[in-house]
Amino acid sequence: MPRYKLVIEYDGGPFCGWQRQVGNPSVQAAIEAAVTRFSGEDVRLTCAGRTDAGVHAIHQVAHLDLAKTWRTDTVRDALNAHLRPQPVAILSAGIVPATFDARRSAIRRHYRYRILNRRSPAALTRAQVWHVPWPLDPERMHEAAQRLVGLHDFSAFRAAECQANSPIRTLEQLDVAPAPMALHEEIVVAASARSFLHHQVRAMVGTLMLAGCGRLSADDVADILASGEKRRCGPLAPAAGLTFVGVDYESGK
């Protein structure tokens, strides 16, 4: 039984998130339905990172097993045909060893958060950014972000409904910088770790926003982290600004 690795792009706006939910449209259910229409098989996908409602992806990874061996370009093209007109695209499909697991084999996940920092709202990207109309200083945000990098108890940045066994995580990267195209007046937050807690990235971005407008210092952000108290955390940044941008595997699988 061959195992296929899919690389997936999607707009999270119309979905309740990646994970299948009864009565609600999900990315997982959309792709699984496309697999059934294409192959006649009922399958369950495993993904690298289960995104929340409204969160996007440009390089989500999932795996599935099929009884028949298909050409990989056939799998990609057939799934895309059956996914239309939903905003989900299979970028590639490949056959991988049975030991490959999209979630358990991952060694690092990458997210990007986009803040549109100008008085006027977005006309073209409103479903992909957080519009913050007051001035933000990305250097202050980056300085504060470095206080969160490393091995920490991230209870202060954890959703109440988070099901992780432990709030301890190692945040490998949290960089804040103006977008390369400054004309767009965007600030981009890049976060990387082996795994994240539920809402962790959005909670950190909301707190960094307060640092960017001068309401918190870098020391304040470090104190919030050390306190473990979610009530001290900044606002939860909207889901629309968050995108799952990649996942790393050992040996580059």
242 DSSP β-pair partners: 113
**How far is Cα 145 from Cα 123, in angstroms, rounded to an integer?**
29
Pair 236, 202: CB distance under 8 Å: yes
**How far is Cα 90 from Cα 81, in angstroms, rounded to an integer?**
10
Q: What b/e readout covers 179-193, taking b as 16+ CB neighbours within 10 angstroms? A: beeeebebbbbebbb
Where are any strands of DSSP class E within 73-204?
88-96, 106-116, 130-131, 150-153, 168-178, 186-193
Q: How far is CA 104 from CA 1, 91, 192, in A?
A: 20, 21, 16
Please count the helices (runs of H) and the strands (runs of E) in the chain. Answer: 5, 10
CA 111 to chain centre: 5
Pair 108, 94: CB distance under 8 Å: no
Candidate list 52, 137, 175, 248, residue with the active-site label: 52
Q: Is 137 a catalytic residue?
A: no
Structure token pair of residue 100? 């490959």
CA 102 to chain centre: 15
CA 128 to chain centre: 12
- Catalytic positions, written as ranges: 52
